[in-house]
Amino acid sequence: MKIYTRTGDAGQTGLYGGGRVRKNDLRIAAYGAVDELNAQLGVCRMANLPPALDEPLARLQHEMFAVGAELASPGDAAPGSILIADADIAAAEEAIDWFEQHLEPLKTFILPGGTPASAALHVARAVCRRAERDVCALAETAPVRATVLQYLNRVGDLLFVLARYANHAAGAPDVLWEKKG
């Protein structure tokens, strides 16, 4: 199979399970942002992370692929493409709770930074929030399961906690926001 098909040369792409849409369709933006998050998670995994973070990030990468597959499968076009469940939300919450118990409570806003690993995780968090916004936009025009939105919201929270944990594990403080004035 060749990587290039030429079927997208006119600005359209195929959906999983059939059908074609413009490449600027809300559905494409939504699963494209999820794909970008998955790529950023791969960058994070190469950023000299504390060992405790690799397994949760690897799991998130597989789950992002599942989210993308679901978003690329409108309606019942691809039976069995619903791959994210309430259990995945619960697992993200458990991970948040586990990592948070090792951190000092926040008393102010923090800025992305500290260590390269933490900064990379903050980028992933920001990309996750954009993916969440794009999926919300899609949900205004097409059916999207609430579980997908809840899951992305929880992943954004998890990435924030993992960014803080990366600093903590390296002995680096979080970068505190300083209010001017």
Q: Does residue 18 come out as left (phi exceeding 0), alpha (psi in the -120 to 50 range) or beta?
A: left
pLDDT of amino acid 74: 76
* 3-class SS of residue 110: strand
DSSP-assigned beta bridge partners for residue 13: 21
Contacts of 142 (CB under 8 A, 6+ apart): 26, 27, 74
The pLDDT of residue 46 is 95
Q: For tokens 């803080």, what's the residue? A: 164
pLDDT for res 33: 97
- What would the pLDDT profile of 24-79 be if each residue is shown by its tens digit? 779 889 999 999 999 999 999 999 999 999 999 999 999 999 999 889 887 665 55
For residue 148, the model assigns a pLDDT of: 95
Checking if the pLDDT of 114 tops 80, the result is yes
Domains of the chain: 12-176 (1.20.1200.10)
> How would residue 173 be classed by pLDDT, with cut points 50, 70 and 90?
very high
- Specify the pLDDT at position 41: 98
Q: Which comes out higher in pLDDT, residue 152 or 7? A: 152
